[in-house]
Amino acid sequence: MNLNIMQWFDPSILIFMGMSLVLNGLVAYLWHKKFYQKLGLKSYQAIQRIHLKETPRLGGLIFALSLIAYVMYCPNNESIQLLKIILISLIPIMIVGLKEDLFHNVKPAIRLFSLLFVGWLFRAQFTGPLPNMADIPLIGKLLALQGGVSFFYILSMVAVANGMNLIDGVNGLCAAVALSILGALLFLSYKTIDVMMLSTIFSVILILIPFLIFNYPYGKIFLGDLGAYSLGLIISMLTIIFFGRHPEISPWGAVLILIYPAMEIVFSLFRRLIKGVPIYHADTAHLHLKLFHLFRPQPHYKKIANALVTPALFGLWLFPLLATTWVYQKPLFILISIVLFLLIYAALYAIVPKVKTIKIKLKK
């Protein structure tokens, strides 16, 4: 295997990486100067809020604009065509997400509908092969039903997108999870000599990195709903596309790669159903929030409690990337890795005590 980096690396992406860096810095600075008040925008208030200062939730908008500008600038090729399909599919959640990030008044049902619409748009546009899931128990039977294929993949994309949105708000966590997943896909693309996927995934990674610079450790900007949902959908789509192109790799590998955001949403749904509360009801019982409220009361950690959560959870968000590099050719080991992740997550959740939630007061 001898891949020349210039086969899959487009130097022009650095221009748009720089654009993303400048825009993230500019928005963070303007919010620090209370510019949002001049626009008549309200402060973000939610039970799961854990940042002290009013923070712009526009990192996702900047990420999307930078990616769109890159696609418009570049000559048409297979990678750009794929990014166009993804970006066109994301239009509904971009509109709805931006409204939520600016005005905080979009109902959960509208957000869910827009996510389902995104999934439908992607299925309507993408004509390439899909992962072969026929041999997986229960899922195989679902796929055999009329409309079962579309239903399964749309539902999967919505689940991962919601899982990513749950963890946005903790400094660095959402971006770290995304980069870990994209890193796993990049590794597999390299191993399978898939130049198109290498180019596409690496472009997304480079445009996301500037956001992380301002998001961690100080939380100067967040992805917001537009960013977290879009990023979750992008990594879902790329995972579906990659495993459809490479049936030689077990589709359980896709489950392993996406397991953290998927676990977040599934575990949250079960927890709320058990408690008898609406599934869309926000709470502070997520693992990352439990860790924050564990760190926060301690004098030494009070000011850096938010920034401590991401490194404290590195074993979870880095697990799929590390495991994939070892077990991607061995379906049995992939399954063992999935079970191991579930056990680690459950053990961590049980070990971390639920302490009294501290109401975060906004600093003026």
Q: How far apart are CA 59 and CA 215, in angstroms?
A: 9
Q: How far apart are CA 204 and CA 153, in angstroms?
A: 21
C-alpha distances in angstroms, 107 versus 97, 113, 147, 154? 11, 10, 28, 20
Pair 81, 102: CB distance under 8 Å: no
Three-state secondary structure string covering 311-328 = HHCHHHHCHHHHHHHHHC
List pLDDT tens digits, range 161-193.
999 999 887 899 999 999 999 999 999 999 999
Three-state secondary structure string covering 24-42 = HHHHHHHHHCCHHHHCCCC
Sign of CA dihedral 92, 84, 325, 329: positive
Structure tokens at 159: 């689940």
Mean pLDDT confidence for 347-355: 88
For residue 42, give every residue at least 6 positions away whose Cβ sits within 8 Å of its Cβ, in sequence order, or none: 103, 104
List pLDDT tens digits, range 239-286.
999 999 999 999 999 999 999 999 999 998 888 888 777 777 777 788
Average pLDDT across the chain, whole number: 88
List the beta bridge partners of residue 121: none
Above 60 in pLDDT, residue 37? no
Which pLDDT score, from 0 to 100, does residue 139 have? 74
Structure tokens at 247: 């049936």
Above 50 in pLDDT, residue 47? no
Q: How far apart are CA 337 and CA 331, in angstroms?
A: 10
Nearest to 309 by CA among 272, 348, 363, 283: 348
- Packing angle of the helix pair 173-191, 259-275 (nearest 10 deg): 140
Q: How far apart are CA 30 and CA 58, in angstroms?
A: 12
Mean pLDDT confidence for 5-23: 90
Q: How far apart are CA 72 and CA 207, in angstroms?
A: 15
Q: Could you count the other beta carbons within 10 Å of the beta carbon of residue 137?
A: 6
C-alpha distances in angstroms, 25 versus 36, 58, 232, 307? 15, 11, 23, 19
Helix (H, G, I), strand (E, B) or coil at 124: helix
Choice among 38-42, 154-158, 251-255 with the minimum mean pLDDT:
38-42
- Higher-pLDDT residue of 146 and 232 is 232
Which pLDDT score, from 0 to 100, does residue 17 have? 96
DSSP category for residue 358: P
Alpha helices by DSSP H, listed for the chain, are 13-32, 35-38, 59-73, 78-89, 91-103, 108-125, 139-144, 148-167, 173-191, 195-215, 224-245, 252-257, 259-275, 287-295, 305-312, 314-317, 319-327, 331-351
Nearest to 136 by CA among 147, 148, 124, 127: 148
List the beta bridge partners of residue 53: 363
Which pLDDT score, from 0 to 100, does residue 175 have? 96
